[in-house]
A and B are shown apart, each in its own frame.
Chain A
């Protein structure tokens, strides 16, 4: 199986978990998996690297790293042309546009030819029975389609958040007859299977392409069991609680501002919150603005005002369980609406800690959290409502019994990543390589046991 997974570990991206599990699931089903991603240097510029993520990649997975980089995230000014240094905005606009001729995706469109060449070479060396392309970037799909058109290798798309649906604002991101719309239709119409992360997005695609409805499957992100603590600590109400937020901070600054304003109001009104602190962990900004953007300014301002807010930097995957174990309440801050889930909601739910929501009421995270016994509910981004939610979450933390925590973990058990991806991978394998009658095996036997081979074409 050729797995086009740009963002595969060690990229410190939230998508890396899903990719790792997908590759591991295929290997566990006896498949020989070759992952196609891009050079570590690219991720270094982006949201950084987390080598602990690679530790749990099955050693039999072969990884091909293409020398593709996002030049717009370059921070070494010595590598800039004079024109770029002088006209950064125009340069960036031209760069975004450059690859669009090949494929209608800013920045990544120009990678199409390299990806196609790479999959063709891999297929020549180890003929593939299946290609899986996961998006973003969407240009991955072009390479999967190419292998189908040239060598009839069937493919599936792990579309995650989809393309033509605007998951932040809702509605259509582009029309069906636009270049992107035409590409989407073309790729999906030949795909064996199409995976999406939640029901609203899946429903969107079933309505947009009714003839493909039976190929659309919801494959939620889920949580990794080693990321959640076996036990959580007992809150100390006298000493104050620790509220924690974990994950890439990408919401618009106004959302973070509302969350911090709500925190300040809650501290003024509720002595328990006033004794508590708020810790933010995760990546903030990329390239030149890493940890130096409007979000960071808001956090540092709150810190400077003595509001017990702190930023603890990115959280390596291997340390997640320990980090969760050091917190009493989890702050779930997410943008978007009914089409947006986010990956962290599953881990949050599975920790057994109280979860305070800071997201729209109509949100897919609400779907996941409904029924969780230690959840405050979602009230949007009104500062007053958020202030009340902090107090309510603090109270939940102090009042929660061991039974409540166990019930919370039980609620989330359905979302274990393996439980989400395992059945999906097995179903896809059955479609790709139908088992002969009477044959109990589930797929193509692996031909490459043993080594964790990395082919880094960028060095």
Chain B
């Protein structure tokens, strides 16, 4: 008689199972079934020799066990339950044919097969039936085989013992340091003490610290979760491990919506030291991993985007000093050069212009439209994110770093192969946004093709400009002088001889379509804000202006156009949004604030708005404000704090009277210029005139012609 043990990682297909059992029985086999299914999932009429529900077996071992196995991957979950079940272990030892019914059961059969070396171990019903047939046809062969394979392999026996020992120790630690224990102050204190105990080996200390940090985090002690990692790092001699612990501490800190700037700086400094060591040893892969860690710690979105200040904007040189001192970073940003300079625009045929971006083409439409019908230009558009070949190449910042450090040779080859047809075709490549596409296009030598990159704003606060090979960029375009200044402070190479030519050209906007009649009699009391989807727009500043206005006249109200904040972006964004929601809960029900949400018809929405605000802490240009001004709304611009007091900023971009230093000044300007219909009409007419004559597309577009067509 052949004994078959079927293992299922999920509920088996009932009808297939029934038909298969008939075949096994017909072939003279007995069949047992064990697996992760509820007992009543299996038809009682199947006449199995034995049935064991591992779901039930796990429940019998208690809630803790169930919770623990629930966290395991599916294949491990089946085995974790099966190996502790006496019935399954016994059946596994006795079986002649061990069968995995699905992919998640394979690991359990693999493990049982290590212990029972006589048995067939197969995946699927058909191979199992074949094994049963084969055993029936060659009984002597299998009898002999059974004798020679009657004990588990030595390796398997050793592993089982070691794993069991580790499990016992691990189990004790898990129970003693569970979130429930660490939620109590006594538990937290005693475990923090354990982590900083003297003479603990580095690796054990790190393991303990991670375990305690996780439990503290789950137990609601978020600050403690950071501290315990930081403490462990302080006492760790191994520099790589120390860097890892500091990075984990800094990340845990950011995840709880906090930024300990000193901790983060020490974390990226430690990561850079590790990167330098790997680089000195010639290990580009590990050096890139550490550099990537350092850059990610220096440019978290919570610190620069979801915050009302940025340490980078305040002091670019100081903030980036550790990077400039790092040999690995220097090597990564060292120019790789180009064999020949960019060629002059062609004579005798249209210029071939490739316009490209990675995922955001919002600011390209006017440019694409202009050159689509231009007799002197042949234009192509390439969305890198939509291109199956280029997308994976553009996504891997760390691989780009590795390549720049002399590793990842295939990346260079693949990029060369994928980009060369585009570079061969184009005379000029215009890359919008200084992110993935800019880094990718400068990964290869562009040959005679001219590379033009436009940087808007947020990119300055990311790692991407540092990944772009500036020697392969001919022209770098900014939308405002203040952004050019900031980026040049971040990338000193831009001020050296041979740097790309720097240009400032305002965004392409068709402002004429915003000139529509205002509706309603009280329009001048309606203050508008376009865009509040990121913390940098600081809608709470606008709310403060509104409060001040309403102290004088309750007819003033605020209308917000656009999506609300993305709460999933970071804990910092959530914290800001919580405060904003508190403001809105008070003001929205009275009608003082209206959230219009996203609209495709912004010109239409602006017909009901009499005052347009720019409340942002940073902007590259703020199209929404200028569109509002063009529509005949009174522009009121906060002196964007990221750039206030510097050589260029909102005060140099806009007429001086538009710009205010505080909510109080904003309220004063609005009250003065909306006092009567006549004063408001006069002020807004002047502002609209200024907007249209300064930034409308017919005014701006010659600048693009000069840049792109004249070289």
Contacts and interface: CB of A to CB of B under 8 A. Distances in A.
A290 B106 contact: no
Nearest to A79: B121
Given A88-B75, A297-B13, A297-B15, A77 B110 contact: yes
Interface string B2-40: 000000000001111011100000000000000000000
8 contacts: A74-B123, A77-B100, A77-B113, A78-B113, A80-B106, A178-B388, A292-B125, A299-B15
A74 B15 CA distance: 25
- Chain B CB count within 10 A is highest, among A178, A288, A291, for A288
A86 interface: yes
Interface in B562-595: none
B676 interface: no
A75 B15 contact: no
A35 to B, nearest CB: 27
Contact of A88 (B16, B76, B106): B106
Most buried by A among B75, B76, B124, B389: B124
B124 A300 contact: no
A77 B125 contact: no
A89 interface: yes
A289 B106 CA distance: 13
Given A86-B75, A297-B16, A304-B15, A292 B126 contact: yes
A292 B421 contact: no
Contact of A290 (B19, B98, B124): B124
A288 B75 contact: no
B365 interface: no
Given A76-B127, A77-B113, A77-B122, A85 B107 contact: yes
Given A88-B103, A288-B127, A77 B16 contact: no
A238 interface: no
Contacts of A299: 15
Closest CB pairs A-B (n = 4):
A300-B15, A288-B124, A85-B110, A290-B126
B73 interface: yes
A87 interface: yes
A87 B110 CA distance: 12
B107 A86 contact: yes
Contacts of A303: 15, 19
A301 interface: yes
Contact of A77 (B76, B106, B389): B106
A285 B75 CA distance: 23
A326 to B, nearest CB: 22
Output the residue of B16, B100, B109 with the most chain A CB within 10 A: B16
Nearest to A302: B15
B75 A87 contact: yes
A289 B15 CA distance: 14
B108 to A, nearest CB: 9
Contact of B13 (A74, A86, A178, A296): A296
A244 interface: no
A287 interface: yes
Given A82-B110, A300-B19, A288 B13 contact: no
A47 to B, nearest CB: 11
Nearest to A288: B124
Contact of B73 (A82, A86, A178): A86
Nearest to A175: B388
Contact of A178 (B76, B121, B127, B389): B389
A231 B585 CA distance: 85
Contacts of A297: 13-16
Contacts of B110: 77, 80, 82, 85
Given A88-B106, A297-B13, A300-B18, A291 B126 contact: yes
Contacts of A290: 124-127
Of A84, A291, A301, most B-chain CB atoms within 10 Å: A291
Given A77-B106, A85-B107, A88-B103, A287 B124 contact: yes
Interface in A267-299: 285, 287-294, 296-297, 299
A439 interface: no
A125 interface: no
A301 B15 contact: yes
Interface string A299-311: 1110110000000
Nearest to B15: A300
Interface string A167-211: 000000000011000000000000000000000000000000000
Interface string B111-125: 101000000111111
A301 B13 CA distance: 10
A80 B109 CA distance: 11
B33 to A, nearest CB: 14
A289 B113 CA distance: 20
B124 A289 contact: yes
Contacts of A88: 75, 103-104, 106
Contacts of B123: 74-77, 287-288
B121 A78 contact: yes
Nearest to A88: B103
A287 B127 CA distance: 8
A77 B102 CA distance: 12
Contacts of B103: 88-89, 288
Nearest to A174: B388
Given A88-B103, A89-B103, A291 B109 contact: no
A291 B125 contact: yes
Given A76-B120, A82-B110, A291-B125, 20 more contacts: A76-B123, A77-B106, A77-B110, A77-B122, A78-B113, A84-B106, A86-B73, A87-B73, A88-B75, A88-B104, A285-B126, A288-B100, A290-B125, A290-B127, A292-B16, A292-B101, A294-B13, A296-B15, A303-B15, A304-B15
A74 B100 CA distance: 13
A177 B387 CA distance: 11
Interface string A418-453: 000000000000000000000000000000000000
A75 B122 contact: yes
Contacts of A294: 13
A89 B110 CA distance: 16
Contacts of B389: 178
A78 B104 CA distance: 16
Contacts of A287: 123-124
A209 to B, nearest CB: 19
Nearest to B111: A85
Interface in A57-79: 74-78
A347 B710 CA distance: 69
A304 B126 CA distance: 20
Contacts of B126: 75, 285, 290-292
Contacts of A177: 421
A221 to B, nearest CB: 28
Most central of B73, B120, B121, B123 by chain A CB within 10 Å: B123
Nearest to A311: B19
